[in-house]
A and B are shown apart, each in its own frame.
Chain A
Amino acid sequence: MSDTSVRPGQEHFVAPLEETPLRAVDAVDDSAPPSSQWGEAWRQLRRRPLFWVSVVLILLVVVVAAVPSLFTSTNPRFQTLADSLGDPRDGHPFGFTRLGEDVYARTIYGARASVVVGLLSTVLVTVVGGVVGAIAGYYGGIWDALLSRISDIFFAVPLVLGAIVLITSLQSRSTLTVSLVLSLFAWPQTARIMRGSVLQTRSAEFVTAARALGLSRLQVLVRHVVPNALGPVIVIATISLGTFIAAEATLSYLGVGLPSSIVSWGGDISAAQTSLRSAPQVLFWPAAALSVTVLSFIMLGDVVRDALDPKARTR
């Protein structure tokens, strides 16, 4: 290789020979941690502005959901009928709903229902789908056939439709029941992704090595297969957190989600329909808050997927 011309983008890898003592080239830096899938992904993520934008937005929404009183001192349920559909004014920057409630306060307090339903459903779906998918993919055979058919059954019922039917049959409606119902129809997707990922990991050499070292099948599954198969599941969990929030809003919009005693963006958007023409801001703010929240989770899932997928790393 006598050609010493440096290709664009590789300049910084090339040092003049006289400045590079041979010993330094051969030295192994023992202090550096071994490069793992997650370490590499983190290095990728740190450089993406979109990652930081979505993280900041998500943190903001979570703080708003946890302590809404930090952001407003107005009671979201306080109605002054004289202010019905009133325009924004001092202390009430977004105006008033038809019932004379402060739109800003309701938008702030509505975050909690969405975040709780989103987080709860995602945790449930990831745990149930992850365990089912891991067992189906790792043990195969009769387990795979049985678990795959069961998830097919739940997969064949459309999410929102199944949720509407079940939720109208249930007598109690709360953030917990809404999350449970959404999870019931959403876990098969996670299970399928986990199963596919485990199938790929199962045949890796380190799995054979771990078995050869005498670990039991369960130990190999828990310590070696699952941690290495989790990537795609984390991605789908982040994205589906956004879709659960949207699904909850759809249910509340249809009047079968959260009861009106719980302040929620979906419920507020549904109520604002009737005043779209005279007071569009009543619809705009909860819709914007909902969209930004869903958007930040989907964006986060997107950048995490790019970071975990070596094929996408060509840019």
Chain B
Amino acid sequence: MGIYIGRRLLQMIPVFIGATLLIYAMVFLLPGDPIAALFGDKPVSPGVAAQLRAQYHLDQPFLVQYLLFLKGVFTLDLGNTFSGQPVIDVMARAFPVTIRLTVVAIIVEAVLGIVVGLLAGLRRGGWFDSLSLFVSLLVIAVPIFVIGFVARYVFAEKLRWIKASVGPDPTWSQLLIPGIVLGSVSFAYVLRLTRNSVAENLTADHVRTATAKGLKPGRVLTVHVLRNSLIPVVTFLGTDVGGLMAGAVVTEGIFNIPGVGGTLYQAIIRTEGATVVAFVTVLVIIYLVVNLLVDLLYAVLDPRIRYV
């Protein structure tokens, strides 16, 4: 187990370096002068521009800039935004909000998706199965920003259950509707994965054996069918964490939640390279760590998988 985790951590290093280098190149190698953009239409005095360039290491060669950035990642010194705030402070405000939103989304999609998927998979071809498949197709097909508008319109403007604009430091209950919107598409995928996986496992040999041994149907269902069916679902949920935090760009915009998505989007539009690179780096780290955890969870769910 320890050796396995060690090997996986070693494999993460090239992926981490590659992904950060990719983002770094996209932000800093491409045309466009961030200093000129910072001043907008106003003329820039060469002295001030040079000073700013030196401060943000923009006068160094690309690889040196990248290495300085990597050094900053490990010393938690991620530079300043153009308005002078340390990037790390901006992150400390934005990440807790988005993490809460993501937790709401994950819980909603996992619980609802697995329950509905299980019921649909048990009676494949029945009316409940057909209905849930149709609903899941609809949820996947309707773009998330349309779901978001409609949810905001209905729950905030018609029913007045929530505020249309969530604002800073939101509570869990304020994040419930946005979380459902954020998790809606993934809910459809979880539902379909669970349904297919349950339907397939119902006819598996180990399930027939368990029934033949005389185990109660409830135990067969939970321990032998559901547990094995959850493996692809857990994989999906794992890869989805990163996608949800990034997908929050749209949801946070609609409900005006000051989280990672909103901050990152603003930073991209203003070409604030340091902020963009720092945020995306953290998202990549989260993605890699969650995927490692998912692989370790396999061993818990499937007794055939053992890591040595």
Task: Name A's B-contacting residues (CB within 8 A).
Answer: 149-150, 152-154, 156-162, 164-166, 168-171, 242, 246, 249-250, 253-254, 256, 266, 269-270, 273, 276-277, 283, 287, 290-292, 294-295, 298-299, 302, 311-312, 314-315
Kindly state the interface size class of chain B when it binds its partner.
35 or more
Contact B141 A158, beta carbon cutoff 8 Å: no
Closest to B288 in A: A156
Contact A157 B23, beta carbon cutoff 8 Å: yes
Contacts of B14 in A (CB 8 A): 149, 153
- Per-residue CB contact flags for chain B residues 1-42 toward chain A (1 = under 8 Å, else 0) read 000000000010011101100110011001110000000000
Distance in angstroms from A113 CB to nearest chain B CB is 14
- Known A253-B250, A294-B140; judge A283-B22 contact (CB<8 A): no
A294 to B185, CA, bound (A): 13
Task: Name B's A-contacting residues (CB within 8 A).
Answer: 11, 14-16, 18-19, 22-23, 26-27, 30-32, 124-125, 137-138, 140-146, 149, 153, 157, 196, 200, 203, 242-243, 245-247, 249-250, 253, 264-265, 268-269, 271, 276, 280, 283-284, 287-288
Closest to B125 in A: A315
- B280 in complex: contacting residue of A161, A169, A315, CB < 8 Å: A161
- Known A160-B246, A254-B265, A315-B124; judge A298-B149 contact (CB<8 A): no
Contact B268 A276, beta carbon cutoff 8 Å: no
Contacts of A273 in B (CB 8 A): 149
Contacts of A160 in B (CB 8 A): 246-247, 249-250
Contact A165 B249, beta carbon cutoff 8 Å: no
A302 to B192, CA, bound (A): 11
Contact B269 A291, beta carbon cutoff 8 Å: no
Distance in angstroms from B135 CB to nearest chain A CB is 12
27 contacts between A and B (CB under 8 A): A150-B18, A156-B242, A157-B19, A157-B284, A158-B245, A160-B249, A162-B23, A164-B249, A164-B265, A165-B23, A168-B269, A169-B271, A170-B30, A246-B143, A250-B144, A250-B145, A250-B250, A253-B145, A269-B145, A287-B142, A287-B143, A287-B146, A291-B138, A295-B140, A312-B196, A314-B203, A315-B124
